Amino acid sequence: MSSPVVHAHHAPEGFIRRYVFSLDHKVIGIQYYFLGLFSVFIGMFLSLLMRYHMVNPTVSVAWMAKLWPTAAAGGVMTPELYLSLMTMHGTIMVFFVLTTVPQSGFGNYMLPIQIGAEDMAFPVLNMMSFWTTFLALVVMIAAFFVEGGAPLSGWTAYPPLSAAGRVTGPGEGMGQNLWILSIAIFCGASLMGAINFISTTVDLRCKGMTLMRMPLTCWTWLVTAILGLLGFAVLLAAGVLLLLDRLAGSSFFLPAGMMISDRILADHKGGSPLLWQHLFWFFGHPEVYIAILPGMGVTSQLLSTFSRKPIFGYKAMVYAILSIGFLGFLVWGHHMFMSGMNPYSAMAFATLTMCIGVPSAIKTFNWLGTLWGGKIHFTTAMLFALGFVSLFVTGGVSGIFLGQPALDLYFHDTYFVVGHFHMIMGVAAIFGMFAGTFYWFPKMYGRMMNETLGKIHFYLTFIGVYCIFTPMHYLGIAGNPRRYSAFTDVEYLGGLIPVHQFMTYAAYFTAAVQLIFVVNLFWSLMKGPKAPVNPWNATTLEWTVPSPPPFDNFAGVHPVVNHGPYEYSVPGAASDFIMQTDPPSAVPSEH
């Protein structure tokens, strides 16, 4: 065999081309990660303001009055300000954290390496998609600073509130326009990203990397990209129509004869707010899987690695990912049971919703099967992956309740829903990100994170989030509506305030605990012990290259893959893991 021609590529010189307008997928991945980290702290700050206000609705806070001289005149926030904080919290978290970090952040960094490619298929497009996302974030945050402030209509932007303009509330002027604009820009960025992810996965896999040898992370990034491609296209179209209703006076979503604040809106007639709900949730349900699928991939990868066992049912996992992706487009109606939909449609959507529980359950059982009898290493990364499984099950079970129209008519727009989606989409996905961070940090930065701090952070966060979000289910069952800024004016809610107080303290606690993570992250970046090439004795391609990897990932060598991604504890093999690039002879033949 002749030795391969080594033809390495080197990073461009100069700070700007190397770190700012970089074409390197690894730098772009890190940029996405830090964009998400910045966003998650803004989102968390907003949530703390909300939690404070809910339990202290009349207490005046001097610096609130400084921040919002009109909306919090006298230091007490108006209900409208509360709603705008809620809108921005949800939007920033869903789009700029949950959609951005697991897919664009980790996916960008790891996908090309895991499939043995030098870079994404279209590096310039990749760079553009990051900077477009950045622009979207800037426009979104700008909504805070325009006349009237941020919009009030939630991350789902339901019309008529979102479409009728300034008369409906302070943030519904310029703020809502910027919101729609930002989301439209974000859609464009996501489309660019999806094109790159799909072409890269389809066309740039190295020799021997068949589809069925791809790590499950790559499968989830692929399916997430497909969901994003189809979903964001529809959201973009819906956003255009919404913006026209606001700016051009059309009536796509606005019906006739609406009375808002004692005024009749005469200019519009014939539109349908429900049309928006259909378009939005056709995107919205796939979106929740966009948020969770990459976390599922990371969890699969980690459970296998740290149990020193092959993933249980690799093929079943792949087909489960594919069917979750497919079914995800057929269940949007379960968000609209309360919209007056035909009960037969509701039954169809409910049935399909139950169907999507099947692949979800397959994944969960396969995770448990992977753990079963494994030699489990409780690293911090593994703990977060286990936490992911726990949260996914907790959130999934409440989803089964919500999927029944008869129950959802009661639960809809209560805290039960808030509990459901924070468990599964909020915290489970975030645990996926923590797991990914602790697992890949050594590869990305060449240093190890501190395990002691990591474990303390894990346990406190795990307890904290359950304390915040479990009581929400109880509140929902007790009839506590969501999107209320205070509970003092409604008598039957008064008795629930102690529960809210408990949740608020839990939120303070959990937020404070995140400082441990920040300290760990930045301390390890600078002072962490040097990481070896393969600290976890893992099998996939990223663990064959130096930490951090060279500019073109494989230093000009083209890797050849001979094994599946999870060959742990193969009977008779020399070590308890076989790298994907090990020669075929690494697996002892049976005869």
Total residues at interface with Cu ion (CB under 5 A): 1
Residue 236 contact among Cu ion, ligand HEM, other proteins, none, beta carbon within 5 to 8 Å by kind: other proteins
Residues 6+ apart with CB under 8 A from 589: none
Residues 6+ apart with CB under 8 A from 170: 70, 71, 80, 84, 148, 149, 152
Residue 360 touching ligand HEM (CB under 6 A): yes
Among the residue ranges 118-126, 222-230, 285-293, 440-448, the one whose residues contact ligand HEM (CB under 6 A): 285-293
The DSSP secondary-structure symbol of 481 reads B
Residues 6+ apart with CB under 8 A from 181: 139, 243
Residue with Cβ nearer ligand HEM (167 or 368):
368
Residue with Cβ nearer ligand HEM (111 or 350):
350
Contacts 24+ apart (CB under 8 A), 342-345: 343/405
Residue 471 contact among ligand HEM, other proteins, Cu ion, none, beta carbon within 5 to 8 Å by kind: none
Residue with Cβ nearer other proteins (271 or 464):
271
Rg, Å, the chain Cα set? 24
Residue with Cβ nearer ligand HEM (283 or 411):
411
Least gap, CB of 316 to ligand HEM (angstroms): 17
Residue with Cβ nearer Cu ion (337 or 517):
337
DSSP three-state, residue 19:
helix
| C-alpha 497, offset from chain centre | 30
Residue 158 contact among other proteins, Cu ion, ligand HEM, none, beta carbon within 5 to 8 Å by kind: none
Helices 79-91 and 174-203, packing angle to 10 deg = 10
Residue 363 touching ligand HEM (CB under 6 A): no
C-alpha angle 77-83-84 in degrees, rounded to nearest 5: 90
Residue with Cβ nearer ligand HEM (423 or 579):
423
Least gap, CB of 120 to other proteins (angstroms): 8
Residue with Cβ nearer other proteins (78 or 272):
272
Residues 6+ apart with CB under 8 A from 145: none
The secondary structure of the chain in percent helix, strand, coil, rounded to multiples of 5, reads 65, 0, 30
Among 87, 133, 353, 553, binds ligand HEM (CB under 6 A): 353
Report which of 97, 90, 105, 91 is spatially closest to residue 39, judged by C-alpha positions.
97
Beta bridge mates, 481: 414
Residue 279 contact among Cu ion, other proteins, ligand HEM, none, beta carbon within 5 to 8 Å by kind: other proteins
Among the residue ranges 63-71, 173-181, 285-293, 486-494, the one whose residues contact Cu ion (CB under 5 A): 285-293
Give CA–CA dist 183/140, Å, rounded: 8
Interface mask toward ligand HEM for 391-430; x: CB under 6 A: -----x--xx-xx----x--xx----x--xx--xx-----
Integer angstrom CA distances of residue 466 from 11, 65, 470, 538: 45, 33, 5, 31
Contact residues for other proteins (CB under 8 A)? 7, 9, 23, 112, 117-123, 191, 194-196, 198-200, 202-212, 229-230, 232-234, 236-238, 240-241, 244, 248-252, 267, 269-272, 275, 278-279, 282, 558
Tokens of 549: 């990897």
Residue 221 touching ligand HEM (CB under 6 A): no
The DSSP secondary-structure symbol of 533 reads S
Residue 443 contact among other proteins, ligand HEM, Cu ion, none, beta carbon within 5 to 8 Å by kind: none
Give CA–CA dist 366/380, Å, rounded: 21
Residue 363 touching Cu ion (CB under 5 A): no
* Whether 84 contacts 169, CB under 8 Å: no
Using Cβ positions, the residue closest to ligand HEM within the complex turns out to be 399
Helices 216-247 and 273-307, packing angle to 10 deg = 160
Least gap, CB of 324 to Cu ion (angstroms): 12
Residue with Cβ nearer ligand HEM (142 or 400):
400
Among 285, 412, 422, 473, binds Cu ion (CB under 5 A): 285
Residue 157 touching ligand HEM (CB under 6 A): no
Give CA–CA dist 363/341, Å, rounded: 32
Give CA–CA dist 285/328, Å, rounded: 6
For ligand HEM, the binding residues (CB under 6 A) are 156, 288, 291-292, 334-335, 353, 356-357, 360, 396, 399-400, 402-403, 408, 411-412, 417, 420-421, 424-425
- Which residues in this chain contact Cu ion in the complex, by CB under 5 A? 285
